[in-house]
Chains A and B, each alone.
Chain A
Amino acid sequence: MEAFASLMGGFAVALTPENLLWSLLGVTLGTAIGVLPGLGPGLTIALLLPITYKVDPTAAFILFAGIYYGAMYGGSTTSILLNTPGESATIVTALEGNKMARGGRGGAALATAAIGSFVAGTLGTLGITFLAPMVVKFALVFGPADYFALMILAFVTVSAVLGSSAIRGLTSLSIGLFLGFVGVDLQTGQPRFTFGLLELLDGINVIVVAVGIFAVGETLYVASRYRYGRDEIVPLKGSIWMTKEEWRRSWKPWLRGTLFGFPIGALPAGGAEIPTFLSYYTEKKLTKYPEEFGKGAIEGVAGPEAANNASAAGVLVPMLTLGLPTSATAAIMLSAFQSYGINPGPLLFQTQPQLVWGLIASLFIGNVMLLVLNLPMIAIWVKMLKIPAPLLYAGVLVFATIGTYGISQSPVDLVLLYAIGFVGFAMRRYDFPTAPVIIGMILGPMAEQNLRQALTISAGDWSVFFTRPLSAALLALALLALVAPHFWELMKKPRLEHPPAAL
């Protein structure tokens, strides 16, 4: 109950009118930058760092936390409406979300994303409040070998987005793996596939690829089909809000997404994308409406959206308990701590309780504000779908171009965006699934680096993957996830096939 009393103290700090205003400013700004691809919370907070010279620390961190949570909300909006993910953690949201929007359920998709984010963000923040010390102990047990096993488990999720042909799906995956290898290799410092271009040494940004394939590729495809009949976007079908049925189908994915997002977000090398993949895979396997997946299933939006917001809360666990920045945004927030002469570390909770608990309380408040801010906005957002297709898609291109340029002001990124856009168009035209590209690009380099880190530590001994209990358990789980569904099919099939034959 000590944590509870401290949290109440935190609310006393965060609930002053001035701090509420900072929180409101933060969530508004965060939502706005989340909407724009490329301009993420890390960059925004970095640009706002100079305010640390003028504003007191509690207010600054309340502002930053608002931006951080807000960006996760905002990122889903463009994923759903325009198929243009604003953040890499909302890429999965676009898969089902955009299909829902085209089928007239954009309002429901946005609502389940917003409410799911609220539920996951709140549960995640509760997790920070009460479970942080335990979670962080668990997180440190993870070594490179265990991360590699986790990546292998995540690779299984590719099967959920393979589409009708495994060959095509695996081809897409290979394209993604290849794109992920571009750049300087972390372990040896040697450039790979950079063709002598300095701009490629840091690798290709996954947002450039996602926006290129989804937004630019899609736009080109729509334009190429335009003469042969209009694309059937239904702006609105039925109520703008979630129906009772949609509520019923959303609440379990929200909770399961949170269970994936929070612990994996708390892992120092976990990230926000993997829980969204795992959540999508799980929902697709558990749903009672498998035929809707790929055509706009609400579970496929509710789960991943909850997962990415819960992981945003998880990332704060190692930052607040150990002073470990495990994402770019957390690293920049840490440098803000340092501007105040506060050294975040294992003793932060003891030396700066007012600041830490004020920050945690403001996360709760920010979550409520985001919900209040976003739900009424949905009615306005879905109007966007009534814009005639040529104008809408022209807007998407402008949006994608500006956002991509915003990532690092590099013309090379723009060339890449359109080159990848053409690849995306060709993939759509010849019926290759596009999601495996992104999954391969995110998981490939992570799996490779963790594999090599693990092997360097073990001096080349491959048995580490089976002798470490965590790693062995995760690999067994991956095998199970890969084999069990097929096994299940085999068991079921004969019974279905034989009776008609007997007739």
Chain B
Amino acid sequence: MQSRRDILRYGLALGAASAVPMSGLFAGRAEAAPPTDLKLFVPAAPGGGWDQTARSMEQVLRANGAVTSVQVTNVPGAGGTVGLPQFVNQWKGQGNALMIGGMVMVGAIIANKAPVKLTATTPIARLTGEALALVVPAESPFKTAADFVKALKADPSKVPIAGGSAGGSDHILAGLIAKAGGGDATKVSYVAFAGGGPATAAILGNQVAAGISGYGEFAEQIKAGKMRCLAISADQRDPAIDAPTLREAGIPVDLFNWRGVFAPPGLSKEQVADITKLVADMVKSPAWAEMCKTKGWASIPIVGDSYGEFVAAETTRIEAILKDLGLAG
């Protein structure tokens, strides 16, 4: 992977002189702490959320002068569960390496019954999160989240909900809402689409009663008045979004599609402290805040040991809801 990426970079650099920073090609060596030659492992294809997290980190850390080189390696497949064993086994003991992961991976590990779990890594920090939105087509009779939940409880088969693939964060939130509203999570009429585009099209075309996905996926449609946002899944109200949280709407549920970084296993205490400091300094920098704002991510850092506890708690919670949905045994 790496060599091809570099070939492309060379090609581009030849074609367009200054298009890409060249410094990464002449990497420095890891010496004193914290590491200056960072390696980022992305267990997904280029272009997705994890990949963009990695590339945004690269951008910010370079601009801050915290590192001299960043290498990004992509190993896509099955919600990150193809890449995870490779990271744990082949990158063991590397103090300058970080894997990007998040809630989607927690769900995929449970649903795919993956042999290697996140507990095999060294959790470093949660970085960002995106709240999900519950939306309805502009023509929908539902005006509030309470209206919707009432209908969902009465007859789930009458209110099909569109979202991403089964067992993913959108489906999980649909299950949580049904359960919190006193309904049966297994009866939710969930229509899985391959990605945000087709799902959004189905909502705009009034083919389904409601939709759930990342708020950013729907933001422009909501602004243009083609969809109505009933509620968002954040834990507190976002002044930039004109919609209540699910809690405010009387549905005691919150869910972030969070993303974070993990170091490989087998690091010394000093190595863990060094890489943690690198990440902790990054999330505090104005450049990171600016980057999150551009990308529409909420910066919700949890650094160090409490991140490990958070990941464990999320794993328990998601496993429970996937069982309720009949997707994990």
Report which A residues bind B (CB closer than 8 A): 25, 29, 42-51, 53-55, 139-144, 184-191, 198-199, 201-202, 268-269, 318, 322-326, 328, 330-332, 335, 338-339, 341, 343-348, 406, 408-410, 449, 453, 456-457, 459-460
Contact = CB atoms under 8 A, between A and B. Distances in A.
B112 A201 contact: yes
A328 B45 CA distance: 11
Contact of B55 (A25, A49, A55, A453): A49
Interface string B189-216: 1111111111011101101100000001
A341 B202 CA distance: 26
A96 B12 CA distance: 36
A47 B204 CA distance: 31
Given A144-B207, A456-B191, A324 B201 contact: yes
Count chain B CB atoms within 10 A of each CB in A43, A139, A268, A330 and give the residue with the most: A268
B223 A189 contact: no
B197 A189 contact: no
B97 to A, nearest CB: 17
A324 B200 contact: yes
B24 to A, nearest CB: 10
Interface residues of B, number: 66
Nearest to A340: B294
Contact of B166 (A42, A142, A185, A409): A185
Contacts of A139: 201
A202 B226 CA distance: 33
A456 B221 contact: no
A142 B205 contact: yes
A202 B18 CA distance: 37
B51 to A, nearest CB: 7
A186 B46 contact: no
A53 B18 CA distance: 11
A324 B197 contact: yes
A332 B196 CA distance: 12
B81 interface: yes
A346 B197 contact: no
Given A47-B8, A326-B198, A55 B77 contact: no
B81 A449 contact: no
B87 to A, nearest CB: 13
A343 B58 CA distance: 23
B197 A50 contact: no
Given A53-B59, A323-B220, A449-B194, 5 more contacts: A140-B205, A186-B166, A322-B221, A325-B196, A326-B198
Contact of A331 (B160, B168, B197, B208): B197
Contacts of B197: 268, 318, 324-326, 330-331
Contacts of B52: 49, 335
16 contacts: A51-B12, A51-B16, A55-B16, A144-B191, A144-B207, A184-B78, A186-B192, A189-B168, A198-B82, A202-B76, A324-B204, A331-B197, A346-B221, A409-B75, A456-B190, A457-B208
